[in-house]
Amino acid sequence: MFDSAANALKYIADHDIAMVDLKVAGIAGQWLHITIPARNFSQKHFDEGVGYDGSSGAGFGKVESGDVVAMPEPDTAFIDPFWEHPTISFLCGTATADSKQPFAADPRTIARRAVEYMRSTGIADQAWMGPEFEFHVFDHLEVSNEPYFSCVRISSSEVDSDGTTTVIPQKRGYMRVPPAEHLHDLRSEICLALEGMSIPVRYHHHEVGAPGQCEIEIDLDTLVRVADRTMLIKYVVKNLAHRHGKLATFMPKPVFGEAGNGMHVHQKLERAGKPLFYDQSEKNYANLSDTALHYVAGLLRHGAALTGLTNPSTNSFKRLVEGYEAPVNLFFSLANRSAAIRVPRYAVSPTDKRIEYRPPDFTGNIYLTLAAMLMAGLDGVDNQLFTGAHGFGPFDVNLSQQDDAFKSRIAPLPRTLYDAMNALQADQAFLLKGEVFPSEFLNAWIALKRVDETEAIATRPHPFEYHLYLDT
């Protein structure tokens, strides 16, 4: 929004801004914020940052050395529409409290280092990415995890008719129209809010999931900027849903038997303004360049390890099952939604030619997810990996309909979070290049996921277990 701190401060003074909100990205992928009265906000805050405890909410500082500072960036400013008093928000990088150097474990810093590493290789100077936003909007959700009472009760008017409209059948929600679908106006309001924040929206529609599943697509943008926009889009979706008395969630698999929420990420590389993924000679599959095929091979070669960052929740692997257009095996194909990588059939021009990596979901930290995918793709280009040599296809078939002999030729994605963390532990050298991901950070991430989530879920009785075993 602003090209300098001075212009940002002038805007604050000229537009009667009451509060300045500073937002930082925590390790888990959520925003944290601290608010300063506008009358106290000055150049000093841009130069020196605002101190906070990185070991508490953000999760990436040690208790004994938790002091870090949030460094507001003028070009990330936006008017926050969800506060009663006029508020301007700035996204912040996190720096060390003493030297003001970028904090090594800050997710935005890691994403920036990935881009810097890409440029240092000479392979490309821009990575363009575009997540698809799938989410559910529920009318009400009740959760209880007490020792003597556990339940999840979800209410959705789209599958529980009030007698004036038909319900949407299971997995039959794709592009439904009113009156059966109830969320068109909310999605339009979300998209208009995003457009007002200079985030171009391609379209929105009801997704496959009957109980309030939605999708919004945006244009591709450069890696760090699209990660920032992803954080803002989730913020707008959740807050506008709340304003309408509903709950929005990006949880990968909130409803058993229904389609889950993925985060398919379109991506392409560019150097000196020239697209690198298109080959007009037609010698390669789907007009993909050698660079694109190497990039695809890198993503698939490291696909198991990537799930440790792109799908870092136990719930992620309840989505990655056959029968719901979610990938379960590491191969690529043209327009094939059972593939881990789909080459969009409609992206035919040199500038549009791209690939879509389909396993990720929104439980991952978007900065880490995009950085890790870029590093995997670059490793494929750097090592001249070939898809055919590793059994990655292309396979233009619905894999769920193939026999076991065919399936056995294709590497599977991990089936559990524990397996994903083991894969990340064993295959992380590609992430360490250029010191993009600190090894200490990855080890701490793996330990956290194993103990705080995998073991926590493994030791809790599940309601369905009572159905299976109560009469034992």
Over the stretch 224-233, which tens digit does the pLDDT of each residue have? Answer: 999 999 999 9
- Residue 245 CB coordination number (10 Å): 8
C-alpha 292/C-alpha 343 separation (Å) is 11
Q: Please give the C-alpha separations between residue 436 and each of 71, 85, 98, 373, 430, in angstroms, as whole numbers.
A: 20, 39, 22, 12, 9
For the ranges 23-32, 329-338, 342-351, 393-402, the lowest mean pLDDT is seen at 393-402
- Whether pLDDT at 180 is above 60: yes
pLDDT tens per residue across span 340-388: 999 999 998 999 999 999 999 999 999 999 999 999 999 999 999 988 8
Q: What percent of the chain has pLDDT over 90?
A: 82
8 A C-beta contact, residue 262 and residue 251: no
Amino acid at site 420: A
Q: What mean pLDDT comes out for the span 192-203?
A: 96
Average pLDDT, the chain: 93
8 A C-beta contact, residue 314 and residue 454: yes
8 A C-beta contact, residue 379 and residue 309: no
- Whether pLDDT at 59 is above 70: no
Where along the chain do the CATH 3.10.20.70 domains lie? Answer: 5-103
64: confidence class by pLDDT, cuts 50, 70, 90: very low
- Whether pLDDT at 275 is above 80: yes
When the candidates are 1.10.1040.10, 3.10.20.70, 3.40.50.360, 3.10.150.10, the CATH number that belongs to 5-103 is 3.10.20.70
- Residue 202 CB coordination number (10 Å): 12
pTM of the full structure: 0.95
- Cis bond before residue 179 (omega within 30° of 0): yes
In terms of DSSP bridges, do strands 87-96 and 221-222 run parallel, antiparallel, or are they unpaired?
A: unpaired
- Whether pLDDT at 299 is above 60: yes
Q: Please give the C-alpha separations between residue 232 and each of 82, 200, 240, in angstroms, as whole numbers.
A: 12, 13, 12
Where along the chain do the CATH 3.30.590.10 domains lie? Answer: 114-169+217-469
- As a CATH number, domain 114-169+217-469 is 3.30.590.10
C-alpha 332/C-alpha 279 separation (Å) is 17
User: What pLDDT score does 189 carry?
Assistant: 98
> Where are the alpha helices (H) located in 303-342, listed in sequence order?
303-310, 316-319
Q: Which of the residues are catalytic? A: 53, 132, 134, 207, 215, 264, 337, 356, 358
337: confidence class by pLDDT, cuts 50, 70, 90: confident
User: What pLDDT score does 66 carry?
Assistant: 65
